[in-house]
């Protein structure tokens, strides 16, 4: 009977530790899987096309147009312009994350295109993701080919990853921009940042 | 319960140790959290404003000698990174113009293994260089003294940066009469523009722009005639008789606007002809300010009104009277002799038409339709036949069976190109 008690205790312990081992294995497997799905290769795959995040459209707010404009902007043009602006910044985000420049010429022209392309390989470890824009039209040419606008506040999330940690910072920036209509597409021709208001970098706390 | 044996204690000890290891692993702090150490403040100093085309000095204080320091220059379009090894707690970095080419507010972030600092610099663009980026549109405007076009210039410096606001842009406009207008504006919102009002002489207006030493290509806007005045329709040929086949020409007068400018080639003119055969619409483009139409005469005599339209201008109607195309329309009706003609029972009535001639004495065109109508005098019965004339002649036969329902006399009408010949004929 006493020998039986000892064996029962051992078996109970084996069951308990077996269950604990199984739970540990599942935890390790899920953790590994989560890391695999965040790998850079998969991000490359999923960010190859400049898909316009639908939620972002709602994050673009246009101020009332100034009365001094020589031509009033058509609603359809404003829709196209909003889309072009968002897609252009989405392209910058793609460039910052992947270094890919395939779509840059679709959304940028002239010296702006050259600048985005020349800087594409320098982003290493740092990326920029748009969060929203407050826009104000400043110029619309009579023939509807050139637009000047001020992004009174463009909001971005910056991310910097090093070998030791990952940090993010929210930033609010002000830009002046000129866009031209080329081949039916609005393209950013010039972009000049006028102001930056950046919050402190904070470490990313992940699981 | 007896005391546990030594091997059993060993197994228990191993399991307990495993449990403890698992507990420690599960409660481990995240690796990234471990690395998220507090960063010391680095003092980064640079000029508040600096020319974009000059080397930018940056002073960094608070680094640890031997540390690798990353200097990140973030411009409007992206970032550039420079790494330097700190030789002392304070280092000086000179950023070459090629590493900060874009004008505007640039953020300089400095990272060391344990520290961070940041500053901003307003990089100012240089002077405008050529060729000046010049746009002009629309490319045409009415020469009515009231229409307008816009010339837009986007001056940039040698690195492609839009020049500073307030930069002067000069425009030079050469009018069709060779007069020259010189004007100036200043840039705002990265560009400068000027409105160009049309004058009253049609022709090419050339606009060029310069900004400092930067010269742009000349752009052209065409000043064109506006809506024509005194639009009219005139006949170019004698009006043929209404045979449905002849052609004649109609044109507009020379189209000029209120300032005497000829309308440009290719202006579309619409001509409506309303007459006995209905409405016919044609369009033609102007050549030398005149639009010419080739019109087919109707196949019925009568009047037709021709009206031309250009933009909002409408001509008064030109009324043309189309004469009948038939001068003589002989019709012969014969009843075969039942005795001498073997099949006279079925022969009925023979109607021969021709020779049908035009007012010019010629035969009507081959294929001209002749409409033959027999109308019973006593009833509503009617027989209608159609034939085509060949060499001005045609013939049909109405069988006796068809005529059986006709009681008494009947009327015969032959119509060719709207001209009628009639005859009363007793039933054979």
In this prediction the ipTM stands at 0.74
In this model, does residue A135 exceed pLDDT 90?
A: yes
Closest to B44 (Cα-Cα) out of B56, B30, B32, B31: B56
Token pair 């307003």 in the structure block, residue: B122
Q: Which of residues 22-81 of B touch A (CB under 8 A)?
A: 22, 25-26, 30, 32-33, 35-36, 39, 72, 75-81
Contact between A149 and A177 under an 8 Å Cβ cutoff? The reply is: yes
Least confident of A37-41, A62-66, B303-307: A37-41
Q: Which residue has the tokens 């002073």?
A: B59
- Beta-carbon separation of B32 and A204 below 8 A: yes
- pLDDT at position B4 is 58
pLDDT along chain B (428 residues), means of 10: 65 77 64 56 94 94 92 93 92 89 93 91 94 94 95 94 96 96 95 96 96 95 95 95 92 96 96 93 97 94 96 96 93 69 60 90 92 82 90 88 70 91 67
Which tokens in the block code for residue B190?
A: 């990265």
Beta-carbon neighbour count of residue B393 at 10 Å?
16
Q: What's the rounded Cα separation, in Å, for the pair A117 and A108?
A: 10
Strand B40-41 with B115-124, pairing: parallel
User: Between the CA of residue B210 and those of B128, B132, B161, B169, what are the distances in Å?
Assistant: 9, 7, 17, 6
Q: To the nearest whole angstrom, how far is the Cα of A45 from the nearest Cα of chain B?
A: 22
- What confidence tier does A171 reach under pLDDT thresholds 50, 70, 90? very high
Q: Among the residues of A99-178, which ranges form H helices?
A: 104-107, 110-118
Nearest C-alpha neighbor of B163 from the set B137, B139, B187:
B187
Closest residue in chain A to residue B134, using alpha carbons only? A146
Nearest-Å Rg of the Cα atoms of chain B is 49
The answer to whether the Cβ–Cβ distance between A178 and B26 falls below 8 Å is no
Q: Name the residue among A112, A139, A165 with its Cβ closest to that of B32.
A: A165
Q: Which residues contact B220 (CB under 8 A, 6 or more apart)?
A: B136, B139, B204, B205, B206, B207
User: Which of A35, A153, A164 to substitute to test the interface with B, most B CBs within 10 Å?
Assistant: A164
Kind and range of the H or E run holding B397: strand B394-398
- Tell me the C-alpha distance between A148 and A197, whole Å: 23
User: Residues 6 or more apart from B399 whose CB is under 8 A from it?
Assistant: B346, B347, B348
- The torsion angles phi and psi of B282, rounded to 5 degrees, stand at -130, 155
CA distance B91 to chain A (A): 22
Going by pLDDT thresholds of 50, 70 and 90, the confidence category of residue A30 is low
Supply the pLDDT for residue A54: 67
Q: What is the pLDDT of residue A41?
A: 57
In three-state secondary structure terms, B401 is helix
Matching residue, tokens 């010629």 = B362
Q: Are A135 and A112 in contact (CB under 8 A)?
A: no
In chain B, what is the straight-line distance between the N-terminal and C-terminal CA atoms, in Å?
146
| Cα B138 to Cα B151: distance, rounded to the nearest angstrom | 9
CA atoms within 13 A on the CB side of A76: 3
The CA-based dihedral angle spanning residues B183, B188, B193, B194, taken in that order and rounded to the nearest 10 degrees: -50
In b/e form, how buried is each residue of A60-82, taking b as 16+ CB within 10 angstroms? beeeeeeeeeeeeeeeebbeebb
The angle that helices B6-26 and A2-37 make with each other, rounded to 10 degrees, is 20
**Minimal-distance CA residue of chain A relative to B152:** A141
Asked if A109 contacts A188 with a C-beta cutoff of 8 angstroms, the reply is yes
Residues B113, A124: C-beta atoms closer than 8 Å: no
Paired strand residues for B133: B154
Q: Do B77 and A112 touch (CB under 8 A)?
A: yes
Give φ, ψ of B336 to 5 degrees. -60, 145
Q: Which of B3, B7, B32, B131 to mutate to test the interface with A (most CBs of A within 10 A)?
A: B32
Q: How far is CA B192 from the centre of its chain?
A: 28
Q: Does B283 touch chain A (CB under 8 A)?
A: no
User: Strand ranges (DSSP E) for B143-300?
Assistant: 148-156, 168-174, 180-186, 192-197, 203-211, 214-215, 219-224, 233-235, 247-252, 268-275, 278-285, 292-296
Q: What residue of A is the nearest CA neighbor of B15?
A: A17
- Distance separating alpha carbons of residues B301 and B275, to the nearest angstrom: 9
Which residue, B391, B330, B322, is CA-closest to B362? B391
Q: Which residues contact A187 (CB under 8 A, 6 or more apart)?
A: A84, A88, A106, A107, A108, A109, A112, A113, A179, A180, A181
| 8 A C-beta contact, residue B167 and residue B190 | no
User: Residue A181 pLDDT > 90, yes or no?
Assistant: yes
- The pLDDT score that the predictor gives to residue B101 is 81
Residue bearing tokens 């420690």: B24
Cα A148 to Cα A138: distance, rounded to the nearest angstrom? 5
Q: What pairs with residue A197 in β-bridges?
A: A172
Tokens of A75: 């609603």
The answer to whether the CB atoms of B190 and A27 lie below 8 A apart is no
Query: What is the rounded end-to-end Cα distance, in angstroms, of chain A?
Result: 49
Residue A172's pLDDT is 97
A196/B107 CB distance under 8 A: yes
* Its pTM surpasses 0.80: no
All residues at 6 or more sequence positions from B114 whose CB lies less than 8 Å from its CB, including other chains: B37, B39, B40, B64, B67
Measured CA to CA, the distance from residue B182 to residue B196 in angstroms comes to: 11
Q: Are A71 and A90 contacting, i.e. CB atoms less than 8 angstroms apart?
A: no
What's the DSSP call for residue B300?
S
Rounded Cα distance, B252 and B307, in Å: 10
A65 HSE (CA, 13 A, CB side) = 15
d(Cα B245, Cα B237) in Å, to the nearest integer? Answer: 15
């Amino acid at each position: 009977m006493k020998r039986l008690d000892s064996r029962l205790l051992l078996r109970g312990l084996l069951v308990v530790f077996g269950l604990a081992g199984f739970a540990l294995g599942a935890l390790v497997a899920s953790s590994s899987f989560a890391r695999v799905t965040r790998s850079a290769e998969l991000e490359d795959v999923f960010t190859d096309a400049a898909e316009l995040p639908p939620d972002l459209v709602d994050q673009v707010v246009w101020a009332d147009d100034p009365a001094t404009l020589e031509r009033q902007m058509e609603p359809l043009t404003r829709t196209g312009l909003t889309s072009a602006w968002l897609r252009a910044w989405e392209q910058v985000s793609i460039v910052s994350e992947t270094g890919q420049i395939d779509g840059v010429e679709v959304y940028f022209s002239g010296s702006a295109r050259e600048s985005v392309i020349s800087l594409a390989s320098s982003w290493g470890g740092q990326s920029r993701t748009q969060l929203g824009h407050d826009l104000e039209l400043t110029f619309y040419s009579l023939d509807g080919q050139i637009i000047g606008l001020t992004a009174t506040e463009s909001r971005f999330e910056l991310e910097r990853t090093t070998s030791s940690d990952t940090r993010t910072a929210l930033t609010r920036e002000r830009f002046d921009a000129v866009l031209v209509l080329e081949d039916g597409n609005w393209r950013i021709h010039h972009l000049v940042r006028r102001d930056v208001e950046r919050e402190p970098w904070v470490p990313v706390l992940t699981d | 319960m007896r005391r546990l044996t030594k091997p059993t204690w060993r197994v228990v000890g191993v399991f307990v140790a495993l449990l403890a290891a698992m507990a420690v692993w599960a409660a481990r702090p995240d690796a990234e959290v471990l690395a998220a150490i507090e960063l010391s403040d680095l003092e980064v100093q640079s000029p508040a404003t600096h020319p974009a085309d000059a080397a930018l000095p940056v002073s960094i204080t608070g680094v640890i000698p031997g540390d690798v320091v990353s200097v990140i220059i973030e411009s409007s379009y992206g970032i550039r990174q420079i790494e330097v090894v700190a030789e002392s707690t304070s280092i000086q970095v000179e950023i070459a113009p090629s590493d900060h080419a874009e004008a505007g507010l640039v953020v300089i972030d400095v990272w060391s293994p344990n520290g961070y600092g940041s500053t901003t610099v307003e990089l100012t663009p240089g002077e405008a260089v050529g060729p000046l980026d010049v746009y002009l549109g629309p490319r045409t405007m009415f020469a009515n003294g009231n229409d307008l076009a816009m010339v837009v210039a986007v001056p940039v410096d040698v690195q492609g940066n839009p020049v500073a606001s307030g930069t002067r842009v000069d425009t030079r406009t050469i009018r069709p009469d060779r007069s020259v207008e010189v004007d100036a504006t200043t840039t705002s919102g990265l560009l400068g523009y000027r409105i160009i009002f049309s004058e009253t002489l049609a022709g090419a207006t050339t606009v060029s722009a310069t900004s400092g030493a930067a010269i742009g290509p000349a752009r052209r806007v065409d000043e064109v005639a506006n809506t024509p005045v005194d639009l009219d329709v005139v006949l170019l040929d004698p009006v043929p008789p209404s045979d449905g086949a002849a052609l004649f020409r109609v044109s507009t007068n020379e189209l000029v606007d209120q300032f005497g400018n000829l309308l440009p080639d290719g202006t579309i003119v619409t001509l409506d002809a309303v007459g006995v055969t209905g409405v016919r619409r044609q369009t033609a483009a102007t050549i030398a300010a005149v639009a010419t139409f080739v019109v087919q005469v109707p196949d019925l005599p009568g009047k037709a009104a021709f009206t031309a339209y250009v933009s909002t201008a409408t001509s008064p109607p030109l009324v043309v009277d189309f004469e009948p195309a038939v001068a003589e329309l002989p019709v012969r009706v014969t009843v075969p002799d039942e005795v001498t003609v073997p099949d006279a029972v079925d022969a009925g009535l023979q109607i021969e038409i021709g020779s049908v001639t035009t007012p010019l004495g010629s035969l009507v065109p081959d294929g001209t339709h002749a409409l033959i109508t027999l109308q019973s005098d006593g009833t509503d019965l009617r027989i209608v036949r159609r034939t085509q004339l060949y060499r001005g002649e045609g013939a049909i036969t109405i069988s006796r069976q068809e005529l059986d329902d006709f009681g008494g006399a009947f009327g015969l009408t032959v119509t060719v190109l709207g001209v009628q010949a009639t005859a009363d004929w007793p039933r054979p």
